[in-house]
A and B are shown apart, each in its own frame.
Chain A
Amino acid sequence: MITQEKYRTTVKELLANGTIKMAIGYRPGSTPDRRRPLFIRTSEEADQLVLDSTCITNLSGYLVTEGLLSDEKQVGIFLRPEGIRSINILAAEYQLNVDQIVIFGFDSTGREVRPLQGRNAGDFSALLTEIKENPPLTSKEPLLERVEKMNAKERFDFWQEEFSRCIKCYACRQACPMCYCRRCIVDSNQPQWINTSSHTLGNFEWNVVRAFHLSGRCVQCGNCDRACPVNIPLRLINQRMAKEVVDGFDHFAGLSPTQEPVLASFKKDDTETFIL
């Protein structure tokens, strides 16, 4: 509560003195434990701001909305540590200029919300390094372990079962801050790489491609998991790929705004044990 009040005041101040043109935060949703994004432009709108432990959505995707940052004015945004990592990745991929982003960082343990020190993406490097060293456990670990123990055939069946529910709504794509392509590969039809019908093969291909494009970029915010209307454990694949990239290339996505994207860089001595 105190954090919420403090941030309301800060947002009002920054809006009033013209530092930021807008702040992106949370407001009450349709049920008590749901939150909606709030775009604050005036002091009255700032009064609707809510900040508690149920504010879990990673809002950073809104920053790449077309035209939002093109006037070079600053925008404030409420972010958890994962969100700050997303901002770093977007900056590293030249999708935004970090100098335009004012970060209102927060994190929560249980129901307690606490603010994070810092306003600019660069201020959080110590915190992010700490997260790299001690990554927080997610609820997916037991499932990940179970899937890894399966043989290829069981894994194939496991994922077919999961993907067979997919209805190709692309909510996972819309919810993901990293999926900002103007034209997604599934929307192109010359050539059509992926079956667009929602039969199991098309679903499989879509989900593999989605996971590949997020390899080394996903920050485990869980937006895709929560957006999926049929509860496919999408984050599980992303989590596995994040592990691969950390183990293989010591790349923890989103550490700094100048970090080179892992699949757009290389080292001459990268492992190649699998190459015949």
Chain B
Amino acid sequence: MSEPFEPKIVAFVCTYCTYAGADLAGTSRLKYAPNVRIVRLPCTGRISPMFILKALQKGADGVLVSGCHPGDCHFTHGNYHARRRWMVFRALLDFTGIPPERVMFSWISAAEGSKFADLINSVTEDIRKLGPFDQYQELITETESPATL
């Protein structure tokens, strides 16, 4: 009997909004899927596209990037810069064959603990339906350095 596929999801979040939102989800005792590995960064403006590539390189089946709603950035406009960057990077990934469903972006504020829990659940389900990112896994295997996630 084969075990059900458990997707590995990496979430890059900003410390002022989404990380605080995740914290709120925790303190509110909300249950959400354990498949997500959260990486906390100072701002979405700090989230380089390299991070997303690195997560995929280490065997992630999906990547979530999340930060403050527009206008709420602790640094006033880090998320506006990030938004442009994501739009271009997303198009680039799409054009080079990485399904856009695997790399997701969202705004979650510090008050949206339940949105965080719901989003993690739905993202996990979506990736579970898509299945493991086999095409990328093949490439990782070829490098002979194991995916560490």
Contact = CB atoms under 8 A, between A and B. Distances in A.
Nearest to A193: B50
Given A152-B97, A237-B96, A241-B91, A275 B106 contact: yes
A148 B95 CA distance: 7
Nearest to A241: B92
B139 A200 contact: yes
Interface string B99-143: 110001111000000000001000000000000000110011011
Closest 7 CB pairs of A and B: A156-B97, A155-B97, A276-B106, A266-B80, A201-B139, A152-B99, A193-B50
19 contacts: A152-B94, A153-B97, A153-B135, A156-B97, A158-B97, A185-B50, A200-B142, A208-B92, A215-B88, A241-B88, A244-B87, A244-B92, A249-B84, A266-B80, A266-B84, A267-B80, A270-B83, A274-B86, A275-B83
Interface of B: 49-50, 53-54, 57, 70-71, 77, 80-81, 83-100, 104-107, 119, 135-136, 139-140, 142-143
Nearest to B88: A215
Nearest to B89: A212
Given A272-B70, A275-B106, A262 B84 contact: yes
Contacts of A265: 84
A266 to B, nearest CB: 4
Contacts of A130: none
Interface residues of A, number: 49
Contact of B97 (A157, A202, A264, A270): A157
A146 interface: no
Contact of B104 (A197, A208, A271, A276): A276
Given A156-B135, A276-B105, A270 B87 contact: yes
Contacts of B143: 195, 197, 199, 201-202
Nearest to B142: A199
Interface in A241-275: 241, 244-245, 248-249, 262-268, 270-272, 274-275
Interface of A: 147-148, 152-160, 185, 193-195, 197, 199-202, 204-205, 207-209, 211-212, 215-216, 237, 240-241, 244-245, 248-249, 262-268, 270-272, 274-276
B96 A201 contact: no
Contact of A208 (B77, B87, B93, B106): B93
Contacts of B94: 152
A211 B92 contact: yes
B57 to A, nearest CB: 7
A243 to B, nearest CB: 9
Contacts of A201: 57, 136, 139-140, 142-143
A195 B57 contact: yes
Contact of A216 (B80, B88, B140): B88
Contacts of B83: 266, 270, 272, 275
Contacts of A216: 88
Contacts of A153: 97, 135
Contacts of A237: 92, 95-96
Given A248-B91, A276-B105, 17 more contacts: A153-B135, A156-B97, A157-B135, A159-B96, A159-B97, A200-B142, A201-B143, A207-B96, A209-B50, A240-B91, A241-B88, A241-B92, A245-B88, A263-B81, A275-B83, A276-B106, A276-B119
